[in-house]
Structure 1
């Protein structure tokens, strides 16, 4: 049964990393889901309170880092809250409208359009906000990928 548990957990981990490209997939929840399904199929005996405490702390870190990195990028480049909301909407819609490039184009255009339409910012300032959204998003993806790799590494350490 252990090999089945590894296959199922690995599939969940793969979906989690796919969530870095398609942000509507809640990456960290799939990582946690992989842990839970492994435990249900094989055993939870090696995943004690220390394991779950560490994983919960990393999960909280991921949720916070995701939100803060995007907002920081936009604010750092002089964008407004409207740019932040536009970027978030673009991040959710972009990958579905433009399958590969939409992950970068969506947040950028969302921030630019929101700055132009809602805050009536000049075009130059709207572009700066769009660039800030890209910087924030890319920072968030890198941080999330690194934290998820650490989480999975800790999982492997505990169960092997």
Structure 2
């Protein structure tokens, strides 16, 4: 039965990493689910206050990394808040409208449309801003992947 328990815990962690590519999946919740499953199925003993403090700081870093990476990517290429919002909406909608490629095309198209509609900038500049949103998304995925890996490694180090 222990193998089944570990299988569930590892499955929760795997789903969390899939959430990096499909942002509709709440990655943080699945990492926390893995911790809670371990606690309920085995023991909460390894999880002292310091563990929860470190994991809480990692969660704050995850949310910050997501927003800041997207914002920097769009702003560095000349975008505005509208571009950031368009990129975010495109990131959430894209994978459903265009399976597989929507994860990259969604933020791009969202930022381009937002900049064209809200600020009425030229098409060439809007394309540049859309490219910036893709750069921001990719850097966000890499950053969040590193943070999530650190969370899981710290978990395995303690248990």
TM-score interval for Structure 1 and Structure 2 normalised by the shorter chain: over 0.9
2:52 — aligned with what?
52
TM-aligned CA deviation for residue 2 of structure 1: 4.0
TM-aligned CA deviation for residue 5 of structure 1: 2.9
Residues 86-142 of structure 1 show CA distances to partners (whole Å, capped at 9, x for unaligned) of: 101100000111111100000000000111111101011101110110011000000
TM-aligned CA deviation for residue 7 of structure 1: 1.3
**Would you say 1:38 and 2:35 are equivalent positions?**
no
1:135 — aligned with what?
135
1:22 and 1:136 map into 2 onto residues whose CA distance is: 15
**Helix, strand or coil at the partner of 2:45:** coil
1:6 — aligned with what?
6
Moved over 4 A (4+): none
1:157 and 1:50 map into 2 onto residues whose CA distance is: 13
C-alpha contact 1:83 1:115 (8 A) present in aligned 2: yes
Q: In the comparison of the two structures, how many residue pairs are matched?
A: 159
**Would you say 1:124 and 2:124 are equivalent positions?**
yes
TM-aligned CA deviation for residue 29 of structure 1: 1.5
TM-aligned CA deviation for residue 50 of structure 1: 1.4
TM-score normalised by the chain length of structure 2: 0.96
1:155 — aligned with what?
155
TM-aligned CA deviation for residue 143 of structure 1: 0.5
TM-score normalised by the chain length of structure 1: 0.96
- Structure 2 spans left out of the alignment, 5+ residues: none
1:3 and 1:143 map into 2 onto residues whose CA distance is: 31
